[in-house]
Structure 1
Amino acid sequence: MQNKRITYTVKFNQSQLIDLIDIDSVNQLITFNDDTAHVYIMEVEKTNHDIAPHEDNDDNVHDSTLSSNSTQGVDVVTNIDGQNPLTPILCTTQLVPTPQIINSSAKWNDLIKEEGQIFQNANKLRKALFEYDIAHKFTYKFLKNSPGKIICVCKVEGCPWKLSAYAMGKNTSFLVVRHFIKNHKHSAQDVLESTHSFRSNLVSSIIVDKLRLTPDKLPNDIRNDIFKEYGFSLTYHQAWAAKEKALAEINGVPKDSYMLIPWICNRLVKTDPQTVAKWTCSPSYQFEKLFVAYGCCVTGFLRGARPILFIDGYHLSGPYKGTLLTASTCDANNDLFPIAYAIVSAENNENWLWFLSNLKELTGSIPVTLISDRHPSIIAAVEQVYDRDRHAYCYRHVKENFCAETKKLQRGIRGEVKEDAKKLLDAVCYTRFGTEFTEAVEQLRAFSPELANWLETKGDINKWAKSQFPHRRWDLITTNVAESFNSWIRKERTHSICALITEHRDKLANLLYTAKLEMTKWKNEVGPKIDKILMEHVARSEFLKAVRYGDHNVMVRGSNVDVCVNLLRIECTCLEWQMTGIPCPHACAAIKLLHGNIYTYVEECYLKSSQEKIYASSMIPIETHDMPDVNNLTLTDWENNIFLMPPTTTRPLGRPCKKRRESQFQDVHVYKCSRCDQSGHNRSKCRNPNPEKI
């Protein structure tokens, strides 16, 4: 080990090197480190005199000079013989050089290598210059910047760095580097003061790959990522503009996305002939309407789903606005099952009539029950296309209107009175017998004649009350399924029309696949949601007494009333079994008495066999390798395709609304006075003379 120096570090201070000279140093090395330690072996330059043998006299120890370019480090200490200690060296400490941080820009060090390098076009060269600039920490400026000629130099005065690139010919976009000086002449102050110029289209090229995976990343998150990975800072506006450019590169320019609608519709129908994809335009080829219904959804609805549809419209918040009209239903487990959608300009009579006419062609002669809100255009269109008697209204929307009318008629009333009015309306809606319905209306009349009169004249009771609607709707009295669709596609409604079509198709394919996979995990003949309802009914039936009467009749006695259950006709005098298709608690008590299987008395639309019919078909992926490039259309593309223009829209005044208006039934945070702990005022307006007693 002559002419060698051995040093080590300890885990709590790895910035200092400590000499390893004897057995005590070895013990310290083991004691103050974990399973591994950093040990360094360095060569010592030879001096004119030799090092004297080890003696107790410190005068024989000579200083040694370390070579700065001959260090070699190892991670694990090799076997050191304690019987033959190393020649002692003067114990000193030395700071470990600060490690150089290698960021993500190191991959761009060799983007521009030498003269003669060829780039596809000027934009490719500008992008390479931008990334090369970040990797080498300098700033450049253009002396000439055109599609056929780019000349740029370093901004530091006197620096020789220069690049010149010229077009390879008159009719080509390729550029070749003719002159390139890669050396820089910078001082430390020049490097310190160098600032990068950031254009949104160049920064977007850095973040585009990440936005493909996380398109909802916020501008501040983009700023933080850029600083951590590349070491430069962006303003919020720069990050936002770069994100918009990247999203436009991913999803396409919103204006150009309308050009591809005819091609997409043709490809959808060609891929699956059962799919319906229609579009209309004006004589000047401006987009007007789009209707899409995938074949697997239509087939599943006709084969196994209940004949009930939830229709609603939602505002699109993309660049050209518009309205999304949808039709959905429930599967055997009461989960969302989309059927069709349309993109139109607004919710008016013409657009709803066009949407429902296309929907009628899919459903054919099947008697379908429609549930919607009380939008005038929906009511008018349903009367022209479907049976008016089969149009039910969403009870939640009716309740909203009822509460608004209550507030209008009785201003200044206490909150308890309003809650009493809503309870009386619930009694009118949920009762299943005509006599009980009449009693509930009379109770409401006694509470407020004005509200009862509004309910009879403007409330359309026969469209939402359970006892008054003439057709089956399986106790589905709200448009919660349509609201689920709205929540399901909330993010996609902000994108361009082509991105919306693509993302909706992907989400729908994943929904169908997931539901089909979950169906294989069903433990019983019904889904988990239906099984949960049955468990609740069975639990309630434990407190009922059932008596066999013969001919499949069972009398079930509750606390206040007796009902008759007929298992052969699937009937119960409480009417719940007939309306829902699921055995009510009375039926569960009768089934238990006769030792029957409860799943055999569940309606077929809830069974696993129906779920298999609904999800028998799957989505078919479409090929887009031959989709026209809207930025580089050829003469063949113009001859073989129709390209649409975006619709004419006007931006409304004010800032666009991002949040929907919350329902009055949602839980609202109640602010209370910090002095008296009462609601309705704050501390500054508190007039309670003795708040301690409250």
Structure 2
Amino acid sequence: MAREDYVIEQSTIDVKLSYLPTDLSVDCPPVVMMNNRQVSNFLSYCKKKNTVKLCVTFNGGVEDKGGEEKSDLNKKPDSPSDGDACFNADEKVLGRVVEEDKQSVIELAKSPKKRKHHHGASDGVGSSLKSFSVTKEQYFRSKDVLKATMELYAMKYNCDYKITKSYKKFWCIRCVDVVCKWSLRAEHLERSMYFKVNKFVDDHSCAPSRKNKFCRTPSTKTIGHLIMHNYEGVLEGPKPNVISNIIRTQYGHDLTYHQAWEAPEYAANEVRGIPEKSYGKIPKYLYMLEQANPGTYTNYEVDGENRFKYLFISFGQSIRGSYKPIWKVIVVDGTFLKSKYKGVW
């Protein structure tokens, strides 16, 4: 498909597909797709994320009659379509459209010179603090992502800060010690959700003895992002006591009782979806089921308060194969909801 879009001959040009997972920092090497299985994994990964950037790189040499001359297509692209073409995967398929500064993203993708001065836009909270860093002129996709990132910063460097200004256009923090010069100031970009760090004093001038024994307490949402990978592809994730041990050993932070219970629930909801919202998908699922299986009968009932009551499905293949030759017997088989799922909308 990339060859058709860019009119590339397969015999002379090598096409490399790569992407950077949002759980990793911009300093990490990208994931290169080498076979169909890896492409399938990439498509599955796209369905779980708000937005994913796919990078298409063209490499190869062109033979000339006067002699062999190799040209690097990534060095001097003749048009915006040559060289490194980075673009977002179809956000409509992902179900959620991220509002962002389109012009800034296009400039970052097209101009290699400008890209050097931008330290990348953080997509979200990662699952590791080893390669974690905050720099001046760094971009963040939203104010919430910026807050979560600074909470991770406090966890990594065992420090605390206080918020001095928090407005729609500015977000400023500084060290809790009034003598310390450590501070950060981020500004909101117009017509977008992005925040840019335009001032950052990274050195702590306060004495180590003045620091608190424990760092700033991260929010439940931030902790949920850290442990979210533990709930992907499994029926049941780690229990709250196991999560407390993971955060203590890997990040050096002790969770409170409420954090140990709420963080796993948030992580599971981010991976699997919220049960209450899943009921809104049932009518769409039944419609597609009837379209894909002609003759299928479905019935979806709700009570007077628009809460789920019951669901009935009979596939067209079963109706055609068993209705005439088999003796008519009514059998009712079903299930019921229990625990926290009772009475959901």
TM-score using structure 2 length? 0.54
1:205, distance to aligned residue in structure 2 (A): 1.0
Q: Would you say 1:119 and 2:140 are equivalent positions?
A: yes
- Matched with 1:174 is 194
**Aligned with residue 182 of structure 2, among 153, 161, 166:** 161
Does the 8 Å CA contact 1:223/1:234 hold for their aligned counterparts?
A: yes
Q: CA deviation at 1:180?
A: 1.4
Give the aligned partner of residue 231 of structure 2: 211
Residue 59 of structure 1 corresponds to: none
Give distance in 2, aligned partners of 1:146 and 1:297.
60
CA distance in 1, matches of 2:292, 2:174: 54
Q: Secondary structure of the residue that 2:225 maps to in structure 1?
A: helix
Residues 1:269 and 1:198: Cα distance change in structure 2 (over 3 Å): same
CA shift, 1:219, in A, is: 0.5
Kindly state the Cα deviation for residue 189 of structure 1 after the two structures are TM-superposed: 2.2
| Mapped contact 1:223–1:236 kept (Cα < 8 A) | no
1:278 aligns with 2:299: yes
Q: Tell me the equivalent position of 2:129.
A: 105
Pairing partner for 2:270 from 243, 249, 253: 249
Asked if the contact 2:135/2:197 (under 8 Å) is kept, the reply is no
The letter for the 1-side match of 2:130 is: A
Please, which runs of 5 or more residues in structure 1 have no aligned partner? 1-102, 323-495, 497-645, 647-694
Aligned length in residues = 218
Structure 2 CA distance, aligned partners of 1:132 and 1:218? Answer: 26
Deviation string for 1:134-153 (max 9, x for gaps)?
22222222223345432111
Per the alignment, in what secondary structure is the counterpart of residue 253 of structure 2? coil
Instruction: Please state which structure has a larger fraction of its residues in helix.
Output: 1
Q: Could you tell me which of 120, 129, 153 is aligned with 2:150?
A: 129
Query: Residues 157 and 295 from structure 1, CA distance in 2 versus in 1: closer, same or farther, beyond 3 angstroms?
Result: farther
Q: Structure 1 pair 314/279, CA: closer, same or farther in 2 (3 Å)?
A: closer
Matches of 2:138 and 2:167, distance apart in 1: 18
2-structure distance, mates of 1:282, 1:143:
50
Task: Please report how far the alpha carbon of residue 257 of structure 1 lies from its aligned counterpart in structure 2 after TM superposition.
Answer: 2.9
* Partner of residue 77, structure 2: none
Report the Cα distance in structure 1 between the residues aligned to 2:327 and 2:230, rounded to whole angstroms. 42
Please state if 1:199 is matched with 2:219: yes
Equivalent residue runs for 1:481-496 within 5 Å = none
Q: How far apart are residue 113 of structure 1 and its match?
A: 1.5
Q: Deviations over 1:631-667 (max 9, x none)?
A: xxxxxxxxxxxxxxx2xxxxxxxxxxxxxxxxxxxxx
For the pair shown, the structure with the greater C-alpha radius of gyration is 1
| 284, 302, 309: which one aligns with 1:263 | 284
Distance in 1 (CA, whole Å) between partners of 2:272 and 2:342 is 16
- TM-superposed CA distance for 1:296, in Å, is 6.9
- 1:568-626 per-residue CA deviation (whole Å, 9 max, x = no partner) reads xxxxxxxxxxxxxxxxxxxxxxxxxxxxxxxxxxxxxxxxxxxxxxxxxxxxxxxxxxx
Identity over aligned pairs, percent: 25
Pairing of 1:337-356 with structure 2 (within 5 A): none
TM-score (ref. length: structure 1): 0.28
Q: CA 1:209–1:216 in structure 2 vs 1: closer, same or farther (change >3 Å)? A: closer
Amino acid at match of 2:157: H
Q: Distance in 1 between matches of 2:255 and 2:325?
A: 55
Deviations 1:491-521 (A, max 9, x none): xxxxx8xxxxxxxxxxxxxxxxxxxxxxxxx
Residues 243, 260 of structure 2: 8 Å contact kept: yes
In the superposition, relative to structure 1, how do residues 104 and 176 fare at CA in structure 2: closer, same or farther (>3 Å)?
Answer: closer
Counterpart contact for 1:147–1:173, Cα < 8 Å: no
- Residues 660-675 of structure 1: matches in 2 within 5 Å? none
Change (3 A) 1:321 1:154: same
Kept in 2, the 8 Å contact 1:220–1:236? The answer is no
Letter in 1 for 2:135: K
Quote the Cα distance in structure 1 between the aligned partners of 2:197 and 2:240.
36
Task: Give the letter for the 1:172 counterpart.
Answer: S
